[in-house]
Structure 1
Amino acid sequence: MEVDYLFQIGDNIVYPMHGAGIIKAIEEKEISGKKQQYYVIKMSIGNMQVMIPTGKILSSNIRPVTDIIALKNIIHIFQHGESDSLLSWKQRYKVNTDKIKTGKLQECAEVVRDLMQMKKEKTLNTSEKKMLDNAHEFLISELGFIKGITENQIKSFC
């Protein structure tokens, strides 16, 4: 019996809050007495491997890596977008966390853009420094997987 999977071995994907990776295998495992099919994903950040049940892939917000056409729009937003600096740091932290959790490149780029702009104006608190570092790492991890991207385009996000 052949099963139709949403992703195939070798696909480049983005896992929200973890960054980009590649599907290395689809394996059947028995965990707690229950057999399931799992995607085995090698993440580019931290040399980590994760396993996600194939039935939960949609609810995990895993998506394919963005293509070069969509990236051009994201670069424009990154370079020319405006941030809402009127929020308190707690409100801003929640908004930014929610954006990163979506796993969307555009949302992550907005977080990096906004926090980098704030960093130029004042010192970020420890939580926002860590968030900026993580969001930047997620962003760069995906950019490295996009076919056709240039080194200069990647550097525009630094």
Structure 2
Amino acid sequence: MDFKIGNKVIYPAHGTAEVTGRSTKVVDGKKVKYLELSVAAGDESWRGGALKVSVPEDRAEDLGVRPAISLEEVQDVLDVLAVRTVRVPTNWSRRFKNHQEKMKSGDIYECAEVVRNLALRDRQSSLSSAEKAMQIRARRILVSELAVSWNVSMEEAGARVDKVLADD
């Protein structure tokens, strides 16, 4: 993939980022080209994002940096969110580990499953503080990618996600 400055990309475990520049660094005596990314910090101040990431250009795709999903894939993600009968471990530690693994994958569909599962669980009984933190993080990652795909604000994308999660 050809990454251009200004492109919005998805960086696994953090969500949407903007390519803000390129740099060259010397690593083990070799010059290595890097992409400079600014990760959205939950709002839309891309360049003022709280997290700056440097990714070796030649390994960006291997590390999971990718474009946002297409509109067809957005519908598939919404379909995942809409499922109401799910099986998750009842044991807290197993459930939490299962959700952690899904989040580590960087896969938007697995992230959507975590958002959905935790939203459903939150309706049944309150989430632990660790699950609540995971829910917030997973939702931010999901909403940031959907906002790019839909070309809307994160607030609008969040409202659309909430509507799907609320529909019974």
TM above 0.5: yes
Q: Classify the TM-score, shorter chain.
A: 0.7 to 0.9
Task: Number of aligned residue pairs: give it.
Answer: 154
SS in 2 for 1:38: strand
Q: Give the counterpart of 1:50 among 36, 50, 53.
A: 53
Alignment-mate amino acid for residue 133 of structure 2? K
SS in 2 for 1:35: strand
Q: Give the counterpart of 1:15 among 7, 11, 18.
A: 11
SS in 1 for 2:75: helix
SS in 2 for 1:84: coil
Q: For residues 73-115 of structure 1, give each alpha carbon's deviation from its aligned partner in whole angstroms, at most 9, with x where no partner exists.
A: 1112201253213441111111111111121211111100000
Does the CA contact (< 8 Å) of 1:68 and 1:148 recur in 2?
Answer: no
Q: Point out 4+ residue stretches in structure 1 off by more than 3 angstroms.
A: 31-34, 147-154
SS in 1 for 2:26: strand
Give the match for residue 65 of structure 2. 62
More helix, by proportion: 2
Q: CA deviation at 1:152?
A: 6.0
TM-score norm. by structure 2 comes to: 0.80
Give the match for residue 27 of structure 1. 23
Closer, same or farther in 2 for the Cα pair 1:21/1:96, shift >3 Å?
same
In angstroms, what is the RMSD of aligned CA positions?
2.2
1:157 aligns to 2:157 (yes or no): no
Uncovered stretches (5+) of structure 2, i.e. residues with no partner: 43-48, 163-168
Uncovered stretches (5+) of structure 1, i.e. residues with no partner: none
